[in-house]
Amino acid sequence: MDKDLKNKSYIDLLERVIAGGQKPFAAQYLFSFIHQKDAEQIADITPLSKTFRQKLIDEGFSIGGIKLLETHDDPDGTIKFVFGMPDGVRIEAVRLRDGDRNTLCISTQAGCRMGCKFCATGQLKFQRNLTAAEIVDQVYQAEKAVGRIDNVVYMGMGEPLDNFDDVVRSVEILNDKLGRHIGIRHITISTCGLPDEIKKLALASVQPRLAVSLHAPDDAIRSKLMRIGSKYPLKEIMAALKTYQSATGNRVTIEYCMIDGINDQIEHARSLVKLLKPLKVNVNLIELNPFGGCRFDPSPPKQIQVFAKSLSDAGIETVIRFKRGRSIKAACGQLGATWLKED
């Protein structure tokens, strides 16, 4: 049985306190002290009776936490956090600054099973899924360093939908009004495209924004770049997205990494337009961020501009995402790059 109280949603805690013979308000105190006031010990939750607090401790319950091991600062204002788990596992998260707003890119797994060839994390061996507590604690620890986190993007290490239950529970926790109360429209889950889980997300208790890392206009190119491309054809992913949009009405963001000579030609743009036209989407074009051992090169800036114009002219809202945090290996696709030689 999971004994980490930080890993439980408000509903989970409510069920626990009622089973323990307590009034429902005890769950509110537990949840708010852990997720709003950053209580680290059960003894710190003073509105609860000493008897009930001691009972929780005697039953083996505790409040877990991750440890900030390192911070790395880029001149552009990006900060990379390196966190350690109690079992020695390490992960990274990235703070991006946009005016007076903070966006935090968080991890959901240590390593990744997807093996995308242009992503450093995909070259690391998969170690394990993170718990919901370890996911949300990245936000709490980052806030101690930089202040309020306004936006949370599940785009760090790992494939979020490969850790579905803990990811959804972590979104519930971050969104809960008794905790950080981060608006659901300010939370984005990114996936490389797991069709069944996309459809499952459409029926989840919370509806964050969804981003799909597509990176290719056809199956042949996608399979060369992404191991998952051979398992799930684009036709299946597009069908899942149609189901998702029918259920939620939400626009989907398409992430597309621009790789020189591989997926960046005008014919690729035209194929992408044809693929995406049936959906309500916007596209983020991302310049490839190299890492040691990566055999691809980023597309030239002029080529990215031509590609973007082709999409825009076809009526698809398109944004070029400028590289940020590259000097500290915190840019998209670089998380875990400093550990590749170690592994």
Count of CB atoms situated within 10 Å of the CB of 110? 24
Known catalytic membership, residue 342: no
Give CA–CA dist 126/130, Å, rounded: 11
Question: One of 105, 192, 294, 332 is an active-site residue; which one?
Answer: 332
Count of CB atoms situated within 10 Å of the CB of 312? 13
Question: One of 92, 134, 172, 197 is an active-site residue; which one?
Answer: 92
Q: In what order do the strands lie in the sheet with 90-98?
A: 67-73, 79-84, 90-98, 101-105, 151-154, 187-191, 209-213, 252-258, 281-287, 317-321
Known catalytic membership, residue 92: yes
Inter-axis angle of helices 266-276 and 301-313, nearest 10: 40
Count of CB atoms situated within 10 Å of the CB of 107? 28
Structure tokens at 309: 């114009």
Give CA–CA dist 120/281, Å, rounded: 27
Q: Show the CA angle centred on residue 87, arms to residues 159 and 115, nearest 5°.
A: 25
117 contacts 166 by C-beta, under 8 angstroms: no
Give CA–CA dist 263/267, Å, rounded: 9
Q: Give the H or E element holding residue 16.
A: helix 10-19
Dihedral of the alpha carbons of 13, 19, 25, 29, in degrees to the nearest 10? -40
207 contacts 248 by C-beta, under 8 angstroms: yes
Catalytic residues: 92, 332
